[in-house]
Amino acid sequence: MTRAPANTSVEVTAKSAKKGYKGLTPSRAQTSMAPAPFAVPRSITSEMTTNDNEQVTYQRALNFLTANEPEKRLDIRLSYKFFQALEEQALALYGDEKHMSKGHAMPSLYPRVEYTATDSRVTIYTAPTPLHGSSAVSLERAISVAVRDVLVQHRKQELSQRIIPVGESTYSSVDEQGRRSTKTPDAGLKYYYDGHTVLTIIIEVGVSEGYTQLKADIMLWMNEFHCRTAILLYNKESPKFVFPSNADTYSISERPALVEAMTQTGRTNPFGPYCYREHAWFGMLDTAVLEVFKRDQNTGTVNNTGTYLVVQNGQMVVQGDRLDIGLTVGDVFPQNDEEIRDIQGERVQLEINFIRNMLASSSYDTAVSRFNHFIGED
C-alpha cells in the first residue's frame, strides 16, 4: 500500500484528562434523478471584524464567550498573542471539572475556541442544535455504510474496518512562526493502516446565513490539514428561532405535553414547524443543501464538484432510492491505495430515506432541546 505524503498537521483528542474544553489541547441500488442545481447565496456578509481596535475586538470576544448563548458563532481577527489570552480565559471559565455537562462525567465541549494562523481568524462556537450535531454524525454514518456496501459487493469488506469515524478530535498544525491553528470537524472519516491515519473526509454543518464562514472552514481543512474531500451541509430554518420573552410562562411539568405536541407534528410535518402553545420551538426546515469539495489531482486547486438541493420549502426534492453526490470509494482511502485500485472510481450513493429521517429527527430533537434549555433541564 502506498503511504500518503506526511501531513504537517497532528490529530489530538479533544478530551484530555484535565482540559475537557474543546479546542484547548496541548498541541493538538437505483440511482435517483440528479438533484436540481442550487445557487449559493452571494449576499451573505461575514461577521468578521477587521478594522476594530484589537483590544476592543478582544473584549467583544470575551463578552461573547462569557454570555455563552447557545446556537451562536463569532468570527473575528486577533493576533496570536490575543488569541492565547482568550484561550486562557476560556479555560478559566469552562475548562475545569466544575463545568460539567448535565448527565455526563466529562466537562462540557462548548463553548469552543479555534484559531487559523493563515488569516489570524478566531472562531468561537457555542452549543449547537441537534440539527447541527446529529446531522453531521448521521451523514458520516450514511457514507460509511454506503462505502461498506460497495466493498462487500467486491469482496473487500475487510477494508471497511480501517475506515474510522473522526469523533471528537481536534486537529492542530503549527506554522513557521510558531502559531498554532486548531480545527475540530463536526464529523468525518479517517483511514487507519500500518500505524498511521489519513484524514479522508470531513463534514461541516451550519446555517445558510453563515455560508461565508463555513466555506472558509472548508478551505482550511483542504489546504492546511490536507483533507481529501470535504462535505458541507447547510440548512435554513424559517422563521429564525427566538426564545419566548417570558420564562415564567413555562414550567418543567409541561415537558410531557410539549413532547406529545412535537410527536404529533413529526408524524404529519416532519420538517416542522414544531409549535407548542403558539410558540415555534423549531420553525420549518425551509432549505437543506449538500455541497462537495475535492482537490484536482492535476492542478492542486480545491473545486466545488457539486451542489445538491435536498430540501426546499419544507419538502424533500430529491427522488428515488439513492442520492449520488459524486463520492467514490477512492475518496475514503489514501490516494493511490493499491488495495482499491480496481474499484476506486465506484460511486458511493446515500440512501434517501436515511437522509430524510436524519433531517426530520434532528428537527424534532432541536425543538425539544430548545424547550429543555429554556426551562433549565438540558
Q: What is the pLDDT of residue 297?
A: 81
Output the pLDDT for position 52.
52
67 occurs within a structural domain: no
Closest CA to 285 of 273, 296, 294: 273
Residue ranges of the chain with per-residue pLDDT less than 50: 1-51, 97-107
In a domain, 77, yes or no: no
pLDDT at 292: 97
Q: Which three cell numbers stand for residue 218?
A: 472548508
pLDDT in the model for residue 169? 81
Judged on CB neighbours under 10 Å (0-12, 13-18, 19+), 104 is exposed
Residue 266 falls within a domain, yes or no? yes
Strand partners, 308: 290
Assess if residue 4 is contained within a domain: no
Q: Report the domain count for the chain.
A: 1
In a domain, 329, yes or no: yes
Cis bond before residue 239 (omega within 30° of 0): yes
Q: How many residues does the chain have?
A: 378
pTM exceeding 0.85: no
The three grid cell numbers given for residue 30, joined into one nine-digit string: 437505483
Range(s) of the domain holding residue 363? 9-15+129-374
287 domain-assigned: yes
| Amino acid symbol at 13 | T
Q: What is the pLDDT of residues 140-196, one digit of tens each?
A: 999 999 999 999 999 999 999 999 999 778 888 887 788 888 899 999 999 998 888
Is residue 2 situated within a structural domain? no
Sheet harboring 196-207: ordered strands across?
Answer: 163-165, 187-193, 196-207, 229-238, 284-295, 302-312, 315-316
So what's the pLDDT on residue 157? 94
Asked, for residue 31, whether it belongs to a domain, the answer is no
